[in-house]
């Protein structure tokens, strides 16, 4: 059931925005994305990430020892990324509040024990466009800080079907996933969490 919008340090969280049937339909479309563009474990200068990733859309987010960037081709298959699934685009159009569609859809796969350190999303060209993030599967502890590094933070559990929007003054806040509660959802075969993050990169 959809709940009241929650605001966490300027980040809008829409609890239960995507109902159970729509979550299952989205997962099926994401499985097709992963078939065309296999998930990879990014290795950054800090070592391998615990989150596995793939992308859809014109540009995918790619990380390796040279750094990270948006790229038009999957680094392993050499193929363009598959199109952004319709079910995912529909969520963007419903909540983003802009007339432009995203050109990047990052799919983050959190298997047991995976997490994501505090960071800003700042590889895009125009921060007036929001970042829209969709949670599927196991619930995750999402931490939000400030635009500046350090300082106080606040946290919320993101559950399957929740949507978060980072826009306006909250577009560049630091954020991360501290942990995922294994077994809290049965949506994803093999367990875990999928986060789908939509961005206008330009
Ligand atoms: O998994 C999440 O909810 C956050 C993902 C994220 O911050 C990112 O991909 O930049
Ligand atoms: Fe992020």
Q: Which residues of the chain have pLDDT under 50?
A: none
pLDDT digits (tens, 9 = 90+) for 85-108: 999 999 999 999 999 999 999 999
Is the Cβ–Cβ distance between 176 and 31 less than 8 Å? Answer: no
ipTM attached to this prediction: 0.99
pTM of the model: 0.98
How many angstroms does the Cα of residue 182 sit away from the middle of ligand 2?
21
d(CA 164, CA 110): 17
* The pLDDT of residue 105: 98
Count of H helices and E strands in the chain? 2, 15
In 3D, which of 167, 105, 164, 102 has the Cα closest to residue 139? Answer: 164
Cα dihedral angle (193, 6, 127, 91), rounded to 10 degrees? 60
Q: Which CATH superfamily is domain 6-199 in?
A: Alpha-ketoglutarate-dependent dioxygenase AlkB-like (2.60.120.590)
Residue 140 Cα: closest atom of ligand 1: 3
How many angstroms does the Cα of residue 106 sit away from the middle of ligand 1?
9
Ion ligand 2: residues, CB < 5 A: 121
pLDDT digits (tens, 9 = 90+) for 52-66: 999 999 999 998 878
Is the Cβ–Cβ distance between 194 and 108 less than 8 Å? Answer: yes
| Domain definitions of the chain by residue range | 6-199
């Amino acid at each position: 059931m959809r709940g009241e919008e929650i605001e966490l340090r300027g980040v809008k969280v829409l609890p239960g925005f995507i109902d159970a049937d729509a979550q299952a339909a989205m997962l099926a479309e994401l499985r097709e994305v992963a078939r065309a563009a296999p998930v990879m474990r990014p290795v950054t200068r800090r070592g391998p990430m615990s989150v596995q990733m793939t992308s859809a859309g014109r540009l995918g987010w790619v990380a390796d020892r040279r750094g990270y960037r948006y790229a038009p081709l999957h680094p392993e298959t050499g193929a363009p990324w598959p199109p952004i699934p319709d079910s995912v685009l529909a969520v963007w159009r419903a909540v983003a509040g802009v007339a432009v569609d995203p050109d990047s859809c990052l799919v983050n796969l959190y298997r047991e024990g995976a997490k994501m350190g505090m960071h800003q999303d700042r590889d895009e060209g125009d921060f007036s466009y929001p970042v829209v993030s969709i949670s599927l599967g196991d619930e995750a502890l999402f931490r939000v800080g400030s635009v500046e590094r350090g300082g106080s933070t606040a946290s919320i559990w993101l559950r399957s079907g929740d949507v978060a929007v980072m826009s306006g003054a909250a577009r560049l806040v630091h954020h991360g996933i501290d942990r995922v509660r294994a077994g809290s959802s049965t949506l994803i075969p093999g367990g875990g969490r999928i986060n789908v993050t939509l961005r206008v990169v330009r």
